[in-house]
Structure 1
Amino acid sequence: MGLKPNIAVETKKVGQMRKVIHPIRDNSLSIVLFALFVICISLESLSGWRLQNETLAAHAQSSIGYWHFLSTGAFLEGLASNWQAAVLQLGSLIVFSSFLYQRGAPHSRDPRKAKGKQKRRKADRFSWFYRNSLLVAFLLLFVLALGLHIVFGTKAYNEQLMLAGQPPISIAAFLLSAKFWTTTLQTWQAEYLVIALYVVLTIFLRQQNSPESKPLESRNATTGEANG
């Protein structure tokens, strides 16, 4: 008889643990990715702060504090520049894969299979905005990140000009400058290369249990069959 209360207590504790564990398990992918983002941006800010002070010392300027560095163009431009390139990469894959094909890639529609009327009728039940909401979200994120890149890039470039004893330039002048387009195209070409390699490599290679890969038994020519 004395064991029943203990069993009830243990059962209650297990139930409470499950309530905590299940949300963590069910969202573990996004939790880990956001955690890695926080770790990387923290380390980036610390190393960037050290580099900025080394640059200032080389120009006989006094060093700046960590929190001051976080408001400088040197730090903010790097964030915005890489954000807009990363958003462009995924946004391009989303929109191009809606009408272009890559035979054998799990994230491509099969060009041999025509769109069915039933699928079109089902899609027509939803508004245009909902049917294209993912692309719209990435487009807005890209415009926002690109705008921040231009603003903070201008600030960072003017900080460099100030150290060199030269007058600052306007946002319009920076937008037309070789500095802006060099840094922008450096990130764009890297992002497009990586996404192209990803599309091609998923034709031939596999990753067990990953939904980004075709099943292990799939033929290389199989198109659009990602792991379930």
Structure 2
Amino acid sequence: MTRRILRDNALGLFFIVLFLLALIGQAIAGHLRTNEELLHHGQAAQGFWEFVFSSDFVVDVAENWQSEFLQFFFFIAATIWLVQRGSPESKKPGDEGPGSDEDQLVGRYARPDSPAWARAGGWRTTLYGNSLLIVMGAVFVLSWLVQSLAGVAVINEENAQHGAAPLTWSEYLVSPDFWDRTLQNWQSEFLAVAAMVLLSIVLRQRGSAESKPVGAPHRVSAWESE
């Protein structure tokens, strides 16, 4: 039973473990780097947990989270209405839009084993039918908010060390530091999505759900090669 659970959830578990290992590694490396800088300036070293709950660590984590969830928010939303012929990341041309109730198995077209809110109709089905985009957007907004709050704390600590006036939260939101931190992550995420969509037209990875069959023609989408 346990083996079956692990097999059926292996992909999600694999990335959760990678995430935790990377986060722990970031915390350890960041703690060592911070203490090197503190000792170089003749200041006392920070404890590990003191660093983990510091604005310096939180802002670095939050700025990456918000860009990742923004990437998926836009990708999910764009794939409703936009298509890319030949890419397994896209619906076929002509299928743009949210689809019919019959296609989406909602309301009277729901199966007996469909989720309850898919069968409920009204606002509950509408909410459930957009729940992935809503959650991705909410996590982005919350991460962006945490990034901005932690970021203003970090920059005000630096300002205090140099005798400069502190910034308010609204002032920090329009500052070069905030947008430099933000846009350097956004541009890389959008590039990664574009690369995945376009490269998957002509490149293959045998056995991957994100790739067309190796022998599928370039201009043929995954749905046409089945």
1:100 corresponding residue in structure 2: 82
1:158 corresponding residue in structure 2: 156
Displaced runs of 4 or more, over 6 A: none
**TM-score of the pair, normalised by structure 2:** 0.85
Counterparts of 1:216 and 1:49, CA distance in 2:
45
**TM-score of the pair, normalised by structure 1:** 0.84
Task: Structure 1: state its 5+ residue gaps.
Answer: 1-18
CA RMSD across the alignment: 2.1
2:205 corresponding residue in structure 1: 207
Counterparts of 2:163 and 2:224, CA distance in 1:
57
Check the 8 A contact 1:49/1:69 in 2, yes or no.
yes
2:42 corresponding residue in structure 1: 60
Check the 8 A contact 1:77/1:153 in 2, yes or no.
yes
Check the 8 A contact 1:106/1:226 in 2, yes or no.
no
Counterparts of 2:225 and 2:128, CA distance in 1:
26
**Match among 195, 198, 205 for residue 196 of structure 2:** 198
Check the 8 A contact 1:59/1:163 in 2, yes or no.
no
Check the 8 A contact 1:73/1:159 in 2, yes or no.
no
Give the Å deviation of 1:165.
3.4
**Match among 131, 137, 140 for residue 139 of structure 1:** 137
**Match among 218, 221, 225 for residue 219 of structure 2:** 221
1:15 corresponding residue in structure 2: none
SS in 2 for 1:194: helix
1:76 corresponding residue in structure 2: 58
SS in 2 for 1:169: coil
Higher Rg: 1
Cα distance 1:58–1:172, how it changes in 2: closer, same or farther (>3 A)?
farther
1:188 corresponding residue in structure 2: 186
Residues 1-33 of structure 1, C-alpha deviations (whole Å, 9 max, x = no match): xxxxxxxxxxxxxxxxxx121111111111111
Counterparts of 1:59 and 1:65, CA distance in 2:
17
Task: Structure 2: state its 5+ residue gaps.
Answer: 108-117, 119-124
SS in 2 for 1:105: coil
Give the Å deviation of 1:55.
2.3
Moved more, 45-54 or 186-195: 45-54
Cα distance 1:115–1:29, how it changes in 2: closer, same or farther (>3 A)?
closer
Counterparts of 2:225 and 2:130, CA distance in 1:
24
Check the 8 A contact 1:91/1:135 in 2, yes or no.
yes
Check the 8 A contact 1:95/1:135 in 2, yes or no.
yes
Moved more, 53-62 or 38-47: 53-62
Matched, 1:120 2:103: no
Moved more, 171-180 or 121-130: 121-130
- Count of paired positions: 208
Check the 8 A contact 1:215/1:225 in 2, yes or no.
no
Moved more, 60-69 or 79-88: 60-69
Moved more, 216-225 or 158-167: 158-167
Give the Å deviation of 1:149.
0.8
